[in-house]
Amino acid sequence: MTKNHFHYGLFAMIVFVIMLQSCVQNDISLSNVDGTIGTNGALIFPVATSTVTIKQFFDYIHSTNLSYDGSGNLIVTYNPDTPYSFDMNASIQDVPIPQSVNFKGHTGYASTDQINTILATSEDFSFDLKSLSSQNITQLDSISVQSAQFAFSVNSNINFNNNQFQLTITPDPSVFTGIQPASYSQTGTLASLNNTAVTFSNFIAKANANGKFPVQVRLQELSPSNNVYVNSNSTFEITITLKNMNFNAIYGQFSFSATQTGTIDLSFLNNYLSSSSTLPFSNPQINLEMKTNTRLPWDFKVNSIQSYDSSQPNKKLSATFDNESPSKIFPLYHMAKKVGNWGSNTLTFNKSNGHIDQLFTLPGINTISFNISGFTRTDTVVNNQFILPNDTFEVYPQITIPLAFNPGTDIIIHDTLDIPSSMHDFLNKNSAQETELLLAATNNTSAQIEVTATLMDNQNQQIGNAYNVVLKVTSNVDSNGRPTSSDNAVQNFSIPFSYSDLKNASYIKFTYTILGKDITSPLTFNTADFIKIQVSAYIKRLSLNN
């Protein structure tokens, strides 16, 4: 099986943690060692203790994206600061209804009674559903209105001089339930009444059986008034406009469709991997939580979810669904039950739904892009559908990445320890025929760990041969790669470095290759994980020089 190696870039900061946690005992001398020299002239010389814990790594990098669950399993999470919103643009249009008064057959001066008789032919104005609906409203049942205006205007070529009129506007109370005021009346010249706008508030507008919203508009000339001259060419047109409607909710049937694109910045992953590394996560997931304050049957379509390195945006990997398609439609069933409520749906994309793990196999990934659409279903019957003036359909993305890697993955960590100066002094002043490094290792992880020990000079050049040992898993490990129990057993190893190599060395370099329990087990990390190695020099057949 091909293994993925994470060299310096991945968890590079662990090296610093290890170095910070390495406790080098620099004050050791022959006179200070108690009980370590036998009569056969052997000495065990403490060198250093290295303790690596995932919890210390987490505390050291202070990453706001790295956390752990209730079981201590490490998780990388990311939530963008703001959601992505679909603008639904629902509105009630301003609707004018003009009516012309017919003066044909009338020639000469007309009295007030004659004028009022003619005007009475144009008192009923009805707004229909179709005229009120915008393109997104396919069926209008009723409107909860906070306020709306009925505007009156008149256009005439008749000279009424300064005759006084009374204007009365009365919405049908059986259609405009609870409307305030129930009726409006104003007196003045025709010029002063022109362009009158009357505000009505706090009502429910529900069409009558004919789908109409009737309004009675009565214009009467008051007595005494001067007679006015009319003929067949006289024109008199009244227009009533329903406008500036501020609604609380619109009930009916609706049709909406919108597309949104965006990116999720994953540059925080640079804390964990280099630009040439990949992260074969076992099961990362992308959650999309969708919230709406409307009551509409929505379908949500993923057009694409892709990953890329922003410095090479043309190299992308895509999530795939059925038949390797990059897109899929998901019906959403949770919607607001009533005005003031919210409906919430969450879609989870992971290894089994979208093959999200493949997105992270691209070297240097730092960006997730998405193209998503939302549209209402027209083949689904949902009673009491409504939209709001501030209606919204919002998408909240979240990236959740458990730090669990695919089987066959290994992570390589380098740690370099100083050899104490007191040990150098001792080795330079004395001689021995045999030397060994003794390692007392505790592996409290779910992983098998290969340890390579190398002596390095003060120029960081290797001295002699490198030696390998394997720290076995001492825990019982479940199918997810997590330990279920551990006896913290100490594993002892000896490495036969020569006396001359040890004397010329300034550092001991340990390379830890962290594996799964076996090639079929995932590699996981937990805050309780630690590796501890105590290093001692065992010097045999010692010849002491004065």
Tell which wins on pLDDT, 401 or 230: 230
Dist. CA 527–CA 52, nearest whole Å: 11
pLDDT tens-digit series, residues 417-460: 899 888 888 888 877 778 889 999 988 888 888 899 999 999 99
CA dist 106 and 228 (Å) reads 11
pLDDT of 23: 36
Tens digits of residue pLDDT in 271-309: 555 556 666 788 899 999 999 999 999 999 999 999 998
Helix (H) or strand (E) holding 429: helix 421-429
Q: What integer pLDDT is reported at residue 8 of this predicted model? A: 33
Instruction: Judge whether residue 99 has pLDDT over 70.
Output: yes
Whole-prediction pTM:
0.69
539 vs 187, higher pLDDT? 187
Tens digit of each residue's pLDDT (9 = 90 or more) over 301-327: 999 999 998 888 899 999 999 999 999
Distance CA 69, CA 366 (A): 24
Give the pLDDT of residue 479.
60
Residue with the bigger pLDDT between 413 and 264: it is 264
**pLDDT value at 27 more than 60:** no
Residue 40 to residue 539: CA distance in whole angstroms: 11
User: How far apart (Å, rounded) are the C-alpha atoms in residues 446 and 514?
Assistant: 10
User: Over the stretch 335-385, which tens digit does the pLDDT of each residue have?
Assistant: 999 999 999 999 999 999 999 998 988 877 889 999 999 989 877 778 889
Highest mean pLDDT among 40-54, 64-78, 345-359, 377-391: 345-359
Architecture of domain 75-88+256-402: Sandwich (2.60)
Note the pLDDT of residue 180.
Answer: 96
Asked if the model's pLDDT at residue 18 lies above 50, the reply is: no
Give pLDDT, residue 345: 95
The better pLDDT of the pair 400, 268 is held by 400
Residue 1 is predicted with a pLDDT of: 39
Q: How much is the pLDDT for 316? A: 93
Give the DSSP per-residue string, 253-307: EE--EEEEEEEEE-GGGGGT--TT----BSS-EEEEEEEESSB--EEEEEEEEEE
Q: Which residues, at least 6 apart from 237, have a Cβ–Cβ distance to it below 8 Å? A: 98, 99, 100, 101, 154, 155, 156
Q: Pick 485 or 85 by higher pLDDT.
A: 85
Neighbours of 479 (CB within 10 A): 8
Residue 11 has pLDDT above 70, yes or no: no
The residue to which tokens 């909406």 are assigned? 256
Tens digit of pLDDT for each residue in 232-255?
Answer: 889 999 999 999 999 999 998 888
Judged by average pLDDT, the poorest of 11-15, 75-79, 217-221, 231-235 is 11-15
The full length of the chain comes to: 546
Give the tens place of pLDDT for each residue, 203-216.
999 988 888 899 99
CA distances to 94, 146, 173, 175, 251 from 208, rounded to whole Å, are: 20, 20, 11, 6, 15
Give mean pLDDT, residues 82-108: 81
Q: What is the pLDDT of residue 404?
A: 78
Identify the sign of the CA torsion 513, 517, 518, 522.
Answer: negative
φ, ψ at 193 (rounded to 5°):
-80, -20
Share of the chain above pLDDT 70, in %: 82
Residue among 262, 296, 264, 328 at smallest CA distance from 84:
262
Q: What is the rounded distance in angstroms from the CA atom of residue 101 to the CA atom of residue 234?
A: 9
306 contact partners, CB below 8 Å, separation of at least 6: 316, 317, 318, 319, 359, 368, 369, 370
* 212 DSSP β-pair partners: 128
Q: Do residues 397 and 264 touch, judged by C-beta distance below 8 A?
A: yes
Compute the mean pLDDT over every residue in the chain, rounded to the nearest whole number: 81
**Selection from 44, 40, 41 nearest residue 28 by Cα:** 44
Sign for the CA dihedral angle at 232, 234, 240, 241 comes to positive
Q: Does domain 95-253 have CATH number 2.60.120?
A: yes
